């Protein structure tokens, strides 16, 4: 993936050229096959993923799930969010490509460069916020059904 292509991804679109270059240096494009797991629930979160192509399913122990289809969507954000353990399992519904980041390298980058960190983590937390809202709606329904 080129630097320009990386800057077109939603997560990195606010980065300057120098900031994008730092991120690009620690990124790696990987192909995934249909049915292949990106990560598994409960495992230490080592890798952060940005979807480049293909469809993906992220599911949880209670059987709930959401799907990812758009280029630029992220998953595996537990890599940069405590307790650094995957809370769900991600599997490829189709073959595709992902941009993978070593969790430790990415965390080091956002901690060393506060401006870059704010830009990236702002986007990550927005994504996390959506998923938390999704999880809360599940929890509320469960509580309502019990109460």
Partner 1 sequence: MYGFEAIAYHNGWAISFIGIMIVFTGLLTLSMVIRLFPKIIAMIEGNGEPKPEKKQTPKKTPSKKLALDSNIKEAVRQYRYLISWMGEPFSLPRLIELSEKRGLSRPYYTVSQLLHANIIKPDGKGLFFWHAE
Minimum distance, C-beta of residue 6 to partner 1, in the bound complex (Å): 25
Helix axes 103-112, 114-146, angle to 10 degrees: 120
Single out the segment in contact with partner 1 by CB under 8 A; choices: 45-53, 71-79, 112-120, 131-139: 131-139
d(CA 58, CA 88): 6
Are the beta carbons of 116 and 21 closer than 8 angstroms? Answer: no
| Residues numbered 24-83 forming contacts with partner 1, rule: CB under 8 A | 34-35, 55, 57, 59-60, 62-67, 69
Task: Report d(CA 45, CA 71) in Å as an integer.
Answer: 22
> What is the nearest approach in angstroms of partner 1 to the Cβ of residue 32?
11
C-beta separation of 2 from 64 below 8 A: no
Q: How far is the CB of 99 from partner 1 (least distance, A)?
A: 20
Rounded to whole angstroms, how far apart are CA atoms 136 and 119? 26
Nearest distance, CB of residue 147 and partner 1, angstroms? 17
Assess 97 for contact with partner 1 (CB under 8 A): no
Q: Does 138 bind partner 1 (CB under 8 A)?
A: yes
Backbone angles phi, psi at 28, to 5 degrees: -145, 130
CB of 66 to partner 1, least distance (A): 7
The CA distance from 21 to 138, in Å, is 39
SS (H, E, C) 40-54: CCCCECCEEEEEEEC
Please, which residue, 69 or 108, has the CB nearer to partner 1? 69
Q: Does 130 bind partner 1 (CB under 8 A)?
A: no
Applying CB under 8 A, the residues found at the interface with partner 1 are 34-35, 55, 57, 59-60, 62-67, 69, 89, 91-94, 134-135, 137-138, 141
């Amino acid at each position: 993936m080129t630097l320009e292509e990386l800057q077109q991804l939603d997560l990195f679109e606010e980065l300057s050229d120098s900031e994008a270059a730092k991120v690009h240096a620690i990124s790696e494009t990987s192909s995934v096959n249909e049915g292949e797991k990106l990560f598994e629930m409960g495992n230490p979160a080592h890798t952060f993923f940005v979807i480049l192509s293909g469809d993906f399913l992220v599911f949880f122990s209670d059987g709930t799930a959401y799907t990812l289809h758009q280029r630029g969507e992220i998953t595996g954000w537990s890599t940069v969010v405590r307790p650094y353990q995957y809370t769900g399992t991600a599997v490829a519904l189709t073959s595709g490509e992902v941009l993978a980041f070593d969790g430790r390298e990415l965390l080091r980058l956002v901690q060393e460069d506060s401006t870059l960190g704010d830009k990236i983590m702002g986007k990550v937390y927005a994504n996390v916020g959506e998923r938390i809202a999704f999880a809360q709606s599940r929890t509320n329904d469960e509580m309502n059904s019990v109460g």
